[in-house]
A and B are shown apart, each in its own frame.
Chain A
């Protein structure tokens, strides 16, 4: 039978209005801070091989899982400050906080590191909140989350000890890193104020640079607000040899587990040697909209979910 979704769409008007205001505010922020808005192709020949991210195939190419590779080629060509608002696609990701097609806000700064991006996050979210005329974010626990700077910072190592009583390295070895992170740690992060979870084990560095003084961790952080992962950021790896080694390793693991192997993103690897020290971040726009609209399900901040099509 055909279902009439009009009432459901109508019921989303309030949160879609907040989302729209939020996007307007984001664009103004980047415009005023001299960032260039770019649009890179959604359809690409080779996504970055990552162990746990599945791309949707479209003919012989793929829908992007992130705009990362093209944006870094722009950095390598001399672009200094760029941002993009775009759709990304990840196969099989559907849940209360996941949509297989979702919106990313991604930005890069040349001659910067992940610390600079923490400052950007504080500024952008505060700016949205003042543009929307709200003093903070209502937490799903009932309280209010203050956006006053500076926000909290905790290393992955400290968070594992404090909230789960286990060393991150040990959790990694036992194969229970994600399990502990999502069940014991995440729900307690960013409840009073947003928190940056910093310095991930080098095994989870993906495209991040290792920390010079402590090379067992990478200069990577994730932003958490109200127990929810909002953004992922790196000081970018600029060494093409090391990057290629990591891609090969990720592809090997993918093959072992029976996942599709992607072609090597050759032009990206070539460009990497010319990329200046940079920092980049991807922020989940839908999840940020959930926070500002006070909605607990990602479904409520997009007009259509795949099930409604």
Chain B
């Protein structure tokens, strides 16, 4: 069981036998008033979204989902294909089901495919991935202490903010849970 204080983006809970994922989460509390946990929930089967506010006394069951390691093969006509490397079984997910993870889908990357009663619902990419920066403005030297960041594009097409000293062609590590830059990867 989860309590309201366990709620966060990405948590999967069961409501009336359907699995739901928290897609947006905000903690709201008037100074002297009670805490409210404002969530956007997505039904992981139908894709329907709705907003709901919980209180600290609310409890949730976790959604009973299986995860299977699979390899990303290719995408075609809005379908993403993944393969179980042991059984060679292939599954297809829609763009919606892949969601933000599309930003981190490197060729042949191993991901966790989420299954509910054997039907694929979504994927989880590794928490950290290393990617090559494919587009970046050159570094105006002397700018490093001003604390600015700059936007770059990486090999998957994803754009993010990085420190100004990162150059095109360099490898960087991204935390896929936040989508944020972590560090420069040498070599």
| A212 contacts partner chain B, Cβ-Cβ < 8 Å | no
Q: Quick check: is B30 within 8 A (CB to CB) of the other chain? A: yes
B34 in contact with A52 (CB, 8 Å): yes
Stretch at the interface among A6-14, A144-152, A270-278: A6-14
Residue contact A50 to B128, C-beta cutoff 8 Å:
no
- What's the Cα separation between A3 and B27 when bound, in Å? 25
How far does the alpha carbon of A4 sit from the alpha carbon of B185 in the complex, in Å? 11
Contact in complex: B183, A3 (CB < 8 Å): yes
Report how far A183 CA is from B147 CA in the complex, Å: 35
The reply to whether the CB of B186 lies closer than 8 angstroms to some CB of chain A is: no
The answer to whether the Cβ of B57 comes within 8 Å of any Cβ in the partner chain is yes
Question: B57 — nearest CB in chain A belongs to which residue?
Answer: A257
Pairwise interchain contact A178-B30, C-beta atoms closer than 8 A: yes
List residues of chain B with CB within 8 A of the CB of A232. 31-32
Interface range on chain B (Cβ under 8 Å from partner): 20 to 34
**In the complex, A182 has a CB within 8 A of chain B:** yes
CB pair A13 B147 closer than 8 Å: yes
A10-B147, A11-B148, A13-B147 given; A52·B32 CB < 8 A: yes
Interface of B is mostly: mixed
A95 CA / B53 CA spacing, docked (Å): 14
Residue with the greatest number of chain A CB neighbours at <10 A, chosen from B30, B36, B56: B30
Query: Which residues from chain B contact A32 at a C-beta distance below 8 Å?
Result: none
Where chain A touches its partner, the secondary structure class is mixed
State whether A3 and B182 are in contact (beta carbons under 8 Å apart), knowing that A12-B147, A178-B36 are contacts in the complex.
yes
Q: Does A11 contact B33, Cβ atoms closer than 8 Å?
A: no
Q: Is A206 an interface position by the 8 A CB rule?
A: yes
Give B147-166 as 1s and 0s: 1 = Cβ < 8 Å from A's Cβ atoms: 11100000000000011000
Q: Which residue of B lies closest to A282 (CB)?
A: B31
Inter-chain contact B33/A178, CB cutoff 8 Å: yes
Complex Cα spacing A14 to B162, Å = 17
A62 to B183, CA, bound (A): 38
Chain A residue numbers with a CB within 8 Å of B53 are: 179, 183
> In residues 163-187 of chain B, which contact A (Cβ within 8 Å)?
163, 175, 181-183
Are A93 and B27 in contact, with the CB atoms below 8 A?
yes
State in angstroms the CA–CA spacing of A4 and B5 once bound together.
28
**Which chain B residues lie closer than 8 Å to A181 at the CB level?**
30, 33
CB of B145 closer than 8 Å to a CB of A: yes
Cα–Cα, bound, A95→B4 (Å): 13
Query: Is B102 part of the contact surface with A, judged by Cβ < 8 Å?
Result: no
User: What residues make up the interface of A, taking CB atoms closer than 8 Å to B?
Assistant: 1, 3-4, 7, 10-14, 50-53, 92-96, 98, 177-179, 181-183, 186, 204, 206, 222, 229, 232, 257, 282
Which residue numbers of B lie inside 8 Å of A, CB to CB?
A: 5, 26-36, 38, 53, 56-57, 128, 144-149, 162-163, 175, 181-183
